[in-house]
Amino acid sequence: MKILRLIASICLFILFSGTASAEDKSRILLINSDASVEKYKEAQEEFKKALARPVQEIHLEEKKWKLPEVEDFLYDEDPDLVYCIGSKAYLVANKYVGDKDIIFSSIINWQRLPRAKKMYGVSNELHTEMQITLYRYIFPTVKRIGVLYNEKYNSQWFAKTRRDAAAMGVEIIGQTVSGEKDTVAALRELLPKIDALWLISDPVIMSDKKVLSEAFNVCDAQKMPVFTYHEVYAQYGAVLMVSVDNPTLGRQAASIAMEVLAGEKLEERVQFPAGSRIILNLKKIKQYCVEYREEALASVNEIIE
């Protein structure tokens, strides 16, 4: 009996050692669109820490990584899994190693990109129901929220968001924008119908800094609170900024990578971000005389006063 147990133990040791060895030998490549960008760098560092195994890296902003060199490297390295940070990195991976497991993060409107055969990732957009719940919690009188969007990039997002909001007692009122030059005119048409503006990550609307600045000036003149997705818009006068937590993105991508390498089946190939950062511009809120819940301030990461 003891001999049988010993043999079983040895077999189990060999089995699990073999599995671990197979995973350790997996060739993992990280492609960063631009490692000098802080949010990309944060995701990269946390991915490597969480994964805790060797990772080859390509930083596309470096001069040595021109497309021919990248193509040759990918052909020679033949990675088993690629983690892409930013859309440029993803497009490169999809073009040259599209048959491999590809994980992405830090991409705005990822739905517009070509789909790799084995694509996984973390969306750069937070769960809309969570954001709407937050808006209603902090600002109880805000019931009509306006959205400017381009149909090509965000028509599906808008339709779903409007349905989700209606179920929560909030009306989402949209105004389509065909080009960046139409943004301010569309905004002026939208403002009389809403209690607040939700500025989403639409590439058409957000592409021109001058147009964006003018849009914020129009809102400021009307004392219209603006909710948006990045802390950079605090300087323009946004009232509430709910952004993705970039280090969490990297850790979440690493978790997906480990599941894929282990051969596990993921229920959702593309996940919502697990972490967020909330910034509230209390100075603007008081200036606009917008009603807010005092107790809601405890759920905010940073308050601008």
**What single string gives the DSSP state of each residue in 165-203?**
HHHTT-EEEEEE-SSGGGHHHHHHHHGGG-SEEEE---T
Sequence-ordered list of residues with C-beta below 8 angstroms from that of 76, at least 6 positions apart, any chain: none
Q: Side chain identity at 142, as an amino acid letter? A: V
Q: What is the pLDDT of residue 204?
A: 86
Q: What is the pLDDT of residue 117?
A: 83
User: What is the H or E stretch that residue 163 is in?
Assistant: helix 151-167
Q: What is the pLDDT of residue 93?
A: 95
Question: What domains are there in the chain, each with its CATH number?
Answer: 26-124+248-271 (3.40.50.2300), 128-244+276-304 (3.40.50.2300)
Q: What is the pLDDT of residue 24?
A: 60
pLDDT < 70: residue spans in the chain: 1-24
Q: What is the pLDDT of residue 20?
A: 42
Q: What is the pLDDT of residue 147?
A: 97
Q: What is the pLDDT of residue 112?
A: 80
Q: What is the pLDDT of residue 55?
A: 94
Q: What is the pLDDT of residue 22?
A: 45
pTM, two decimal places:
0.76
Q: Which of 140, 110, 148, 138 is nearest to 272 (CA)?
A: 110
